[in-house]
Every structure is written in structure tokens, then in C-alpha cells.
């Protein structure tokens, strides 16, 4: 007799029950043999959409430009610290990924959300900035610890230059660049950053807001794995912070009073 069971989960993106996985219905081998690439797989699994060659090229460039930014940023530093403590690859990478949040790398989704909100509501830049200040806080996608008007972020220039060279409408990117004009004039480092740039571009090519942080997470995972392997290859020692890097502001050593 057949037993009816209520399904525990429902999936709409992939199926592995045949001889190979199908992504949104398309067999992986057929995608490969017809010339599709990793960005197309991202399009199928994140947006159930077979993206165009041009969109795939944009995503490839976003991934290449954001794969790593050296050892000093929160994510890489956390992975390196873990690697040096003898922690395994997946946990060390997870430690780095956990750093991706509203200040570092994880501002993509919110940048996309608010730039889109402004464009959809035909807001002027000043109106947008007033709205953000009153209701949200720092504008996601704007600002950088070390990059500024005087020390521009070449990754941003490269991506903006490429996307603007294409024959596509980019309302979010155009708006984000207008925002930058105003914020960077107020303070030199309030430039459109990597998170904000990729967010605006990805909204312009139709990716869902909730998927946007995924682009930074995916790309930076390449770098985090690199940092773990690099430390392992060098057989690096345990890291312990040096005292001189700490401002010890706790009370001076004192006598413990008798217990009452
Ligand atoms: N919008 C409005 N004002 C800002 C913003 C912003 N996005 N960022 C900084 N400011 C202001 C601060 O309010 C502060 O003003 P004050 O001097 O009047 O108090 C001043 O600029 C300095 O702010 P700090 O927080 O000290 O700047 P810091 O260099 O530490 O911040 C950071 C860098 C964290 C990126 C910040 O600009 C920010 O939070 N941006 C939004 C989040 C974001 O986009 N993060 C992604 C960065 S790119 C990446 O990680 C790949
Ligand atoms: C990055 O890509 O990690 C950054 O833009 C953050 C930084 O501080 O360099």
C-alpha cells in the first residue's frame, strides 16, 4: 500500500534525483557543454533565471573584484586568527564569514534596498539622505575606512566604468553616484563603496534584494579559503595580541576587601 506523507520541505531550485543535478530544471552537464559559466549557475540557483551573457560578465567581474582585500579586513583577519589557532578550513572560513555584516561586506542587501526605495519613490538625493538620517542611520553602501576621494577605490571605478560602457539602463547606480557626490563633498571618505556599487548594479540587472549579500559572501569566500591555505602552508604559529596594542583602561591592581 502507498503511504502518503506530508513533505517536510519544499524546494523550487534544484533536483538531484536523476543521474546529475538539475539547476532550475537544467542539467549541469548540459549547461557546461553549451558554454554556460558559474554566474549562470548563480542566476539559476539564486533567482531561478537564465541570465544573459552580458549579465554573466557583470557578475564575473563583481566576483573577481571582491574576492579578496588583503589580510587586515575583519573577515580575512578572523580567518587568519582561526587558522593560526589550528582551526580547520570550514570553521576558519565560517569565522571570517561571520564578520560579514552591516559595517563590513554585508551592507550590499541594505544598500540595494534603500537605493531602490529612493529610485522607486523618485526621491531627490537630499530627501533620501534626510530620510536615512532620521530613520536608518549610516547609509549602507557609502563610506570606507581607508578609501576616499584622495585615495579612490579602483574596484569601484572599474565596475562603474564597465557597466556604464554597456547599453543598459542603470537607475540605481546613477542614483548611488549622485548620493556619493553629496556625501563625499561633506566628508572625503564617504564615497560609494564596493558594497554599494555592486548592490546598485545588481538591482539594476534585476537580482532580488535578499540575494545581494550573497554576492559578497560568495566572492570573499574565495579569499578566505586562500588565507587559510596560506597560513597552513607557512605553518604559522598561534597569534596572541601584543600588550602594546591594547589600551588597558581597567582599574589598577588593588586589594580585595574582606568578604562581608
Ligand atoms: N552614511 C552617513 N554617515 C556616515 C557613513 C554613512 N554610510 N559612514 C560614516 N559616516 C559618518 C559617521 O556618522 C561619522 O560622522 P561624525 O564624524 O559626524 O560622527 C563619520 O562619518 C565617521 O564615521 P566612522 O564610523 O568613524 O567611519 P569609519 O571609517 O569607521 O566607517 C564604515 C567606515 C564602517 C564603512 C562606515 O562608513 C559605514 O558604516 N558605512 C556603511 C556600511 C557599509 O557600506 N559598509 C561596507 C563598507 S565596504 C566593505 O566592507 C567591502
Ligand atoms: C573589503 O573589500 O574588504 C573592504 O573594502 C573593506 C576594507 O576595509 O578594505
CA dihedral of residues 132, 128, 219, 88 (deg, nearest 10): 0
Asked if residues 40 and 51 have their Cβ atoms less than 8 Å apart, the reply is yes
Per-residue pLDDT 10s for the chain (260 aa) are 788 999 999 999 999 999 999 999 999 999 999 999 999 999 999 999 999 999 999 999 999 999 999 999 999 999 999 999 999 999 999 999 999 999 999 999 999 999 999 999 999 999 999 999 999 999 999 999 999 999 999 999 999 999 999 999 999 999 999 999 999 999 999 999 999 999 999 999 999 999 999 999 999 999 999 999 999 999 999 999 999 999 999 999 999 999 99
Burial class (CB in 10 A: 0-12, 13-18, 19+), 28: middle
Ligand 2: centre distance to CA 45 (Å): 27
Q: What is the atom index within ligand 2 of the atom nearest the CA of 194?
A: 5
CA 22 distance to own-chain centroid: 26
Q: What is the atom index within ligand 1 of the atom nearest the CA of 74?
A: 50
Ligand 2: centre distance to CA 226 (Å): 16
In a 13 Å sphere around the CA of 155, the CA atoms on its Cβ side amount to 20
pLDDT of residue 2: 85
| Nearest ligand, CA 67 | 2
Q: What is the atom index within ligand 2 of the atom nearest the CA of 104?
A: 6
The closest residue, in CA terms, to atom 18 on ligand 1 is: 187
Distance, in Å, from the CA atom of 94 to the CA atom of 117, rounded to the nearest integer, reads: 32
The closest residue, in CA terms, to atom 16 on ligand 1 is: 187
- Give the ipTM of the model, two decimals please: 0.97
Cα angle value 166/106/14 (rounded, 5°): 75
pLDDT of residue 180: 98
- pTM, two decimals, is 0.96
pLDDT of residue 147: 97
Distance, in Å, from the CA atom of 174 to the CA atom of 178, rounded to the nearest integer, reads: 6
The closest residue, in CA terms, to atom 5 on ligand 2 is: 194
pLDDT of residue 159: 98
pLDDT of residue 63: 98
Amino acid at each position: 500500500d502507498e503511504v502518503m506523507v506530508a513533505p517536510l520541505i519544499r524546494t523550487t531550485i534544484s533536483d538531484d534525483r536523476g543521474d546529475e543535478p538539475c539547476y532550475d530544471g537544467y542539467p549541469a552537464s548540459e549547461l557546461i557543454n553549451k558554454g554556460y559559466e558559474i554566474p549562470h549557475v548563480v542566476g539559476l540557483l539564486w533567482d531561478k533565471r537564465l541570465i544573459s551573457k552580458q549579465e554573466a560578465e557583470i557578475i564575473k567581474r563583481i566576483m573577481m573584484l571582491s574576492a579578496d582585500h588583503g589580510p587586515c579586513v575583519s573577515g580575512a583577519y578572523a580567518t587568519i586568527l582561526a587558522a593560526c589557532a589550528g582551526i580547520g578550513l570550514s570553521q576558519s572560513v565560517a569565522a571570517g564569514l561571520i564578520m560579514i555584516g552591516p559595517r563590513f561586506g554585508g551592507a550590499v542587501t541594505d544598500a540595494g534596498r534603500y537605493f531602490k526605495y529612493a529610485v522607486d519613490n523618485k526621491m531627490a538625493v537630499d530627501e533620501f539622505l534626510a530620510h536615512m538620517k532620521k530613520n536608518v542611520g549610516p547609509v549602507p553602501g557609502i563610506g570606507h575606512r581607508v578609501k576616499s576621494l584622495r585615495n579612490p577605490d579602483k574596484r569601484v571605478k572599474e565596475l562603474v566604468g564597465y557597466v556604464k560602457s554597456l547599453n543598459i539602463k542603470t537607475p540605481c547606480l546613477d542614483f548611488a553616484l549622485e548620493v556619493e557626490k553629496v556625501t563625499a563633498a561633506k566628508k572625503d571618505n564617504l564615497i560609494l563603496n564596493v558594497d554599494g556599487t555592486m548592490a546598485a548594479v545588481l538591482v539594476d540587472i534585476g537580482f532580488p534584494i535578499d540575494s545581494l549579500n550573497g554576492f559578497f559572501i560568495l566572492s570573499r569566500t574565495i579569499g578566505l579559503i586562500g588565507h587559510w591555505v596560506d597560513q597552513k602552508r607557512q605553518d604559522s604559529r598561534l597569534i596572541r595580541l601584543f600588550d602594546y596594542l591594547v589600551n588597558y583602561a581597567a582599574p589598577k591592581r588593588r586589594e580585595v576587601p574582606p568578604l562581608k
